[in-house]
Structure 1
Amino acid sequence: MSEKAVVIEAPGGPEQLKLVDVAVGEPGPGEIRIRHEACGLNYIDVYHRNGAYALPLPARLGMEGAGIVEAVGEGVTHLQAGDRAAYASQPPGAYATARVMPAKAVLKLPDAIPFDTAAAMMLKGLTVQYLFKRTLPQGGLQAGDFIVFHAAAGGVGLIACQWARTLGLQLIATAGSDEKCQLALDHGAVHAINYRSEPDFAKRVREITGGKGVKVVYDSVGADTWEGSLNCLAPFGLMVSFGAASGAVPPFSVNALAAKGSIYVTRPTLFTHLASQQAAQAMGDDLFSVVASGEVKIRIDRRYALADVAQSHRDLEARLLTGSAVLLP
């Protein structure tokens, strides 16, 4: 069976992304074959393409998608042919019309959630789920607590702003323009800081919190925000580094964590949390619930044809996108 998929032969720029014919066979034990209706676009795809996160070559890209299950392999019991389904899953390969893949992190999609919404939300929404429900500071988070969330106008950030509001958290957003700051406020952030016009965002966070700092900082930016993020934290606060859009976090002395108030640091990954089908289902059910209820709305800023994948990466790297974006096979 011949289908289309995006492949890179070598790491590099968007020009490396090629749409080619590929063979898609039958699913083996623990696998499914899914025909995509929409595929998600994420910054981790850029890391895979440019070699920052090296993949065996030639490599296929894309970590999330939604569509119809066409066939299931031996041992797969939570899905059957004909099911609507969505996933955020390894290995990469979602940039395709159809694929065979491991079934454990593929979830049955409720009828109330459209395919493009699902493809736009699985990796981003499950990321917010594990951050807010599974990556918590000492004593957890309670309604009224202040948190800092960087890149708050992106796909992950806008979901986080809304989800934080449903939990009663006071989310302090950072973003790179006044327009993006307003977008974060419109989606539930209680304060927003433009770190380009106000580079000492930690000083502003201290002002907002009456000098106390916050229990936790969720940071996907990396090098540019690392030191400021540490300076936002209250004693025993948690620094959660879950991405590096501006570059890798530089080496640091653990003694600095003592000097800043017995600070905790963690570098979690989504796929550690999705390691079992049971965990993936529980996380997915939580995400589906808040989206189906309307408490969290998924903003899709752009829809690209799969053949225009190179342009989608140019736009992503140029920070032209707010909210989420999807590729349509």
Structure 2
Amino acid sequence: MSSQLSSQLNKPATQTAGAEGYNFAYLDEQSKRMIRRAMLKAVAIPGYQVPFGGREMPLPHGWGTGGMQLTATVIGEADTLKVIDQGADDTTNAVSIRRFFAKTAGVATTEHTADASLIQTRHRIPERQLRNDQILIYQVPIPEPLRFIEPRETETRKMHALREYGAMQVKLYEDVARFGHIATSYDYPVMVNDRYMMDPSPIPKFDNPKMNQMPALQLFGAGFEKRIYAVPPYTRVVSLDFDDYPFEVQSWEESCSICGSDHSFLDEVIMDDAGNKMFVCSDTDYCRERVEQGFTAENPEGQQGLTPEHNQVQQENKKQDDTKAEEMAL
């Protein structure tokens, strides 16, 4: 496992067809080596926030500078990059970052989760289960989970060192006392490897269970705060809760108006001034895949409405994906 992670984080940044006058993937090689060292420490101590000398990127803080520095550090000419913002591939942030790396690194880009080796994300985890040959990079605005409980950084450092997380349990209990349940719906704190409390970035708590035992390497970068932390593959990640108020994810009575999914994270879209609304999958690639497989809002069973030829193609594609996953596991 350690050799696999080391090879992923130390891929040579060889020069390739990128923007003239810029280093491969924009960052200079000294900065990349410094960030790789911080990454390796973060992988060795899951959930621990490692400080690093953050570099300026050609976009404002808050738009993914931390995630971009991690992507620029680990990306290689053979990689395929996917960038999502709130699960969508076509938003301004996702399109801008994807074009930036396509120009400065000359790498291939994709909107398909299965085809990507690097996935940079803002506030979502893809619905499709990731493989152990993929890396998921999160954009993080505030890396400290105790920030709004104890604003002093010196004190939160001590709390992490001593594993004093009772204050967070009190905060969750206040939700129960006020609302009758834990009302926190995003940025829900987790315990990593039974040691460090971690901020999973502002993903919805719907995505928290996906982090547990994920085959892919998870890297978190906070550019403004200059912090890196990580969750290695197949690491235990548990959301905080109580015995009598267990952790629960969001659920919807509605299903996706496009693909008919009733088990994915849904966005509510207001259609007109009269307040009419529809629910659609947040993950646009997942929704598109389901539509291609014949799933619709009118036909949520999907495969029953497809031709035998189409079914055979889908089955062959699934076998190829399973075979590739097994080969990578070996």
TM-score normalised by L of structure 2: 0.28
Structure with the bigger percentage of strand: 1
Question: How does the TM-score come out when normalised to structure 1?
Answer: 0.28
**Higher CA-based Rg:** 2
